[in-house]
Amino acid sequence: MDPGPTRQRSSVTGLKPRPAHQVGARPKVGGAVSKCKQPSTSHGGKHVTTMQEHPATDARTLLSAEMRATLVSNMIDKFPQLSEDKADRGVGQMLAFLAACNYAGRPLSPSPLVDDFWHAFLLHTKAYAEFCEQRFGRFLHHQPGFLDKEEHGGGKALRALTVDSITLAGYEIDMEFWPELDLADCSQCHANCSDSPNHP
């Protein structure tokens, strides 16, 4: 039985292709290392591929402290049960997601909670447009809609690809913002998900 298209919270399309020489694996919770395979080089007639580990970057450094504080305040106003620390980390995961969208060669999708942080940033249209232009040289559009499950693998697979892409782009992952990767199935029902800001 064909389940039809999978409902995704949002995605970004028209992305730059990922550099072919970078390969990595999903990090452990709180992963702070990004792994890249370096291109093969000739060494004594043999091709050698080296694995280098680089410290992962906290994506919060991509945005001014003032704008981060504004977004944290906006999210706490909307979802009072969010702590300041979790709201600040959420801004970081949203920024890591945006950086990965610029890096990946196919559509990515945020978790429902990361999507809420993206919506908060989008409401500051001038600041969001300036951020995109300064960091990526182009505007990253928010495109909610349906993605074909056959082509994109469904919500959980797309989210796993997103987390991998964040890692490959060199940014830290906070798995608290990507909880459906630990679940067998995710209903994508934002109002009832365990990661919804509506649930403490």
Q: How many domains, the chain?
A: 1
Q: Which ranges of the chain have pLDDT less than 50?
A: 1-43, 47-52, 183-200
- Cβ atoms of 197 and 72 within 8 Å: the answer is no
Residue at 45 is within a domain: yes
- Within-domain flag for 190: no
Which of 43, 64, 40 lies closest to 51 in space, CA to CA? 40
Q: Do the domain assignments include residue 89?
A: yes
The answer as to whether 188 is a domain residue is: no
Tokens of 99: 């950086």
Is position 198 within any domain? no
Residue 154 has a pLDDT of 62
pLDDT in tens, 30-83: 434 444 433 444 445 554 444 446 689 999 999 999 999 999 999 999 999 999
pLDDT at res. 67 = 98
The dihedral region occupied by 7, where left means phi > 0, alpha psi between -120 and 50, and beta the remainder, is beta
Task: Give a yes or no: residue 189 inside a domain.
Answer: no
Residue 6 and residue 149 in contact, taking contact as beta carbons nearer than 8 Å:
yes
| Residues in contact with 155: Cβ distance below 8 Å, sequence separation at least 6, in sequence order | 6, 7, 8, 109, 180, 186, 188
Whether residue 109 contacts residue 118, with contact meaning beta carbons closer than 8 Å, is answered with: no
Distance CA 39, CA 139 (A): 31
Cα–Cα distance, 161 to 154 (Å, whole number)? 11
Residue 157: its pLDDT value, please? 81
Judge whether 129 lies within some domain. Answer: yes
- What distance, in Å, lies between the first and last C-alpha atoms of the chain? 37
Instruction: Please give the residue range of the domain that contains residue 98.
Output: 6-182
Res 47: pLDDT: 47
78-105: buried (b, 16+ CB within 10 Å) or exposed (e) per residue?
ebeebeeebbbbbbbbbbbbbbbbbbbe
* 191 found inside a domain: no
